[in-house]
Structure 1
């Protein structure tokens, strides 16, 4: 781990330890990947304008996000399939990570406390959950079978808690909101949802989050249809089906809670008439039902409807223009996450750092907070985003690389790495606190090129 000195090192190492189908799935992009690549490259087009002879001996980068204090403005984006990244390449290490045999009485409690499990989320509970999902997957790789642990979301949640920052839990997480909250009590967790065609399903997801103590809902609004990935089509055309078992959803499995059904990568309410009808009509895995939930005719009225059923703050994810930002404000959202969906939806949209200033300008004076994700790979990127108006940045793929290499500890190291780089950037730029970061300290390179 000591040789991993930047996020690119983590990505390179993750490529070595992850099965090829899993890694390729994580780096997939829409069409030819122009937007995914540009989200990273665009940061290089902005130049820093440091101030000198400032006292930066003590630097503070704590802030608030939707009123909740965080230790630094770097958070975790929602990424489905985190369970696929929490992998241990070394067989001995993998055996060590398998849940121990059940112990009785105080001995079990001591072990649970030793491992950091809190409340009722004990080894016994986790073992029961994992056993229902198969506990360990097997995948064929060149070096043989690699054990895969379903604990990525839990690892991220515990990291968010330990570092006092925010995690957005994907609606495709393998655990329920309740179990994630139990595993990381008092963690600042937001729940990412979609506006499903079946509004009862959307309401059900929101109620899960509310009961579990989540503090916001994040609505992904850039998926009226699923983007096309040419790279995946090329790879899967002649690939053996078993190679892709890891990244496909589990079918017809009971989840941790007896009150929910886990089908096709999501949790469903078994009391929902549409769910019961789908199963009764042969859609046992709810595959057709899940696809039908993508609403091509969704409008901002859906956000207004959501505003009417929950008191939780609403964050919309996937805004890239000022016009959409104004519509979001009018619909009653509390925050906007400027995002290009990791470059996996519409290829050719602007890089998120390029779109950020337009969004910030559009919502000025409304009280709506603005965040961004996409392409953030180092501390200078964080500084540039904050200077251009973001209140916080969110990391997606870098978190997966940390998970792949060292589980929970890997996620922590990734966040600490970017945080420490950000602290260094602040010092070199002459800033001792976040309020010192001004828009005038970051300019587009064209300002210099035009003078040549």
Structure 2
């Protein structure tokens, strides 16, 4: 930012500024509102605030902490990644590419949504010179023929994993879909190049919905795992028994997510459910990811202390993009990185491997 521009100190301020700068009412509501009365969004944030850290002193800290870690065998600069979101290109025409470029420059894992408007092949070109930077592609559990189609495309483009969204049998009860229905129609001409070909036309139908897709089962997840050489990540897991079913299906990582509070408003916060799921996955070899309400580096430390391997963010990327384009994403992520570094130092952690439940305070 130049000296004449407003200085933003954290991701909460980025979000408030983004709400001011996004002029289109439907896009603003689509991004920042959730199911029912937004109680799920609020609960995600409030639950993180309720968890307190327990500072430690005299731990012989290095002058510089090591924030790097690995997911699925690939090194990343810190345990923060970009969640799949539909509307980066709604904010900025090349928003998907801008987010990917920041992820590459900062060595963050990046996930492309199956309903993004930018083809997965175009995003993959950004990674040509940095093939080891982690990029995931999001899929849904289509019929076997359609699934094979998108899996082949992802494999040919050397994506590092497939993120399967399993918590979307239908749309959540979202007020803006109904109240701004006429505004929603303006998006009926958007393209969805990452969907299977036979589904691309169906998506344009305003009466179509994901409940028209085949029923999803854990057997479908197992089928996908057998179909591909890529790691498979199940996104939208909220119950310990479902996490264990993922292990049985051969899934490589479980992603705790309540869809950013957009599906079921009366749902516990993801960080609360992480505390139930982490123990049952311990020792399984299955990695554990989470999203939902993370805005500060201290939030990330809390999730890692509970047992997560990586934290993913969605709305913060969109906020940064809305405020200052690609630079806004980078600026906001640098703030989050600095906050994580400070929180680790004050809790006596030199590296990610030092983080465990002892950094959490409990009565």
**TM-score, L = length of structure 2:** 0.92
Whole-angstrom distance in 1 between the partners of 2:325 and 2:316: 12
Report if the CA contact (8 A) 1:224-1:296 is conserved: no
Instruction: Please tell me whether residue 42 in structure 1 is matched to residue 47 in structure 2.
Output: yes
CA contact (8 A) 1:379 1:425 kept: yes
CA distance in 2, matches of 1:425, 1:249: 45
TM-score when normalising by structure 1: 0.74
For 2:328 and 2:161, locate their aligned partners in 1 and report how far apart those are by CA, in whole Å.
Answer: 26
Q: 1:223 aligns with which of 151, 157, 168?
A: 168
Alignment of 1:112-123 (within 5 A): none
1:235-254 superposed matches below 5 A: 235-236=179-180, 241=182, 243-244=183-184, 248-251=187-190
Q: Are 2:65 and 1:59 equivalent residues in the alignment?
A: yes
Contact 2:47 2:272 in 1 (8 A): yes
Counterparts of residues 53-452 of structure 1 (less than 5 Å): 53-56=58-61, 57-86=63-92, 150-185=93-128, 186=131, 187-196=133-142, 198-233=143-178, 235-236=179-180, 241=182, 243-244=183-184, 248-251=187-190, 262=191, 265-268=192-195, 275=198, 287=205, 291=209, 294-295=212-213, 297-444=215-362, 447=363
Distance in 2, matches of 1:333 and 1:292, equals 23
5+ long unaligned stretches in structure 1: 87-149, 252-261, 448-452
Across the aligned residues of Structure 1 and Structure 2, the Cα RMSD in angstroms comes to 2.1
Match of residue 96 from structure 1: none
How has the CA–CA distance of structure 1 residues 307 and 371 changed in structure 2, closer, same or farther, with 3 Å as cutoff?
A: same
Separation of aligned partners in 1, 2:20 and 2:210 = 37
Q: Distance in 2 between matches of 1:332 and 1:288?
A: 36
8 Å Cα contact 1:80-1:173 kept in structure 2? yes
Gaps of 5+ in 2: none
Residues 114 and 138 in structure 2, CA contact (< 8 A), matched pair in contact too: yes
Aligned-pair CA distance for 1:429: 1.2
Contact 2:114–2:195 under 8 Å retained in 1: no
Q: State the Cα distance separating 1:30 from its structure 2 match.
A: 0.9
| Map of 2:16 onto structure 1 | 12
1:37-77 per-position Cα deviation (integer Å, ceiling 9, x unaligned): 10001011111111111222221010100000001111100
Counterpart for residue 90 of structure 1: none
